[in-house]
């Protein structure tokens, strides 16, 4: 058990409101990721982090920002939510000390933007 929790698990919000999703890990793994998953698409990387205050953009980073002020927490923020950001968001970690493809995922956060 990689000890990853996401919150909230479900959220309904309105267009234009800010939303923050939290990913918390109980172990000091270096690499953390935020993905979104939509029907007909593969998982798409939004942002990732390779340490405290070290983050980088993924392929679909527009409209999203992240912060990692502590090893255990990786926050994803939608500054002004849009309907196109309705999705299931997964946080993931790599238990290795480097960026590998063997990821452990949180349970997901289902976001609906009306």
Partner 1 sequence: GQNIDQPTEMTATEGAIVQINCTYQTSGFNGLFWYQQHAGEAPTFLSYNVLDGLEEKGRFSSFLSRSKGYSYLLLKELQMKDSASYLCAAMDSNYQLIWGAGTKLIIKP
User: In the complex, what is the shortest distance from the CB of residue 17 to partner 1, in angstroms, rounded to a whole number?
Assistant: 26
Does 43 engage in binding with partner 1 (CB under 8 A)?
yes
- Tokens read off for 76: 């994803």
SS3 of the chain: helix, strand, coil, percent, to 5: 5, 55, 40
Scanning 15-23, 68-76, 79-87, 106-114 for contacts with partner 1 by CB under 8 A, the matching segment is 106-114
Residue among 39, 71, 74, 43 nearest 58 (CA): 43
> How many whole angstroms separate alpha carbon 100 and alpha carbon 38?
23
- The residue whose two tokens read 């172990």 is 27
Which residue's CB is nearer to partner 1, number 41 or number 70? 41
User: In the complex, what is the shortest distance from the CB of residue 7 to partner 1, in angstroms, rounded to a whole number?
Assistant: 14
- Chain-centroid distance of CA 112 in Å reads 15
One residue of 81, 106, 111, 113 binding partner 1 per CB under 8 A: 106
One residue of 3, 8, 10, 41 binding partner 1 per CB under 8 A: 41
Does 90 engage in binding with partner 1 (CB under 8 A)?
yes
Does 21 engage in binding with partner 1 (CB under 8 A)?
no
> How many whole angstroms separate alpha carbon 62 and alpha carbon 26?
29
Summarize as ranges the residues that interact with partner 1 (CB under 8 A). Answer: 40-45, 58-59, 90, 99-108
């Amino acid at each position: 058990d990689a000890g990853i929790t996401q919150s909230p698990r479900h959220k309904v919000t309105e267009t234009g409101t800010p939303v923050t999703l939290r990913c918390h890990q109980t172990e000091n793994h270096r690499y953390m990721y935020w993905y979104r998953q939509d029907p007909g698409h593969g998982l798409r990387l939004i942002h990732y982090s390779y340490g405290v205050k070290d983050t980088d953009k993924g392929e679909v980073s527009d409209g999203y920002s992240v912060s990692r002020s502590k090893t255990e927490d990786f926050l994803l923020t939608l500054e002004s939510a849009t309907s196109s950001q309705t999705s299931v968001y997964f946080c993931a970690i790599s238990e290795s000390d480097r960026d590998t493809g063997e990821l452990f995922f949180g349970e997901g956060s289902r976001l609906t933007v009306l």
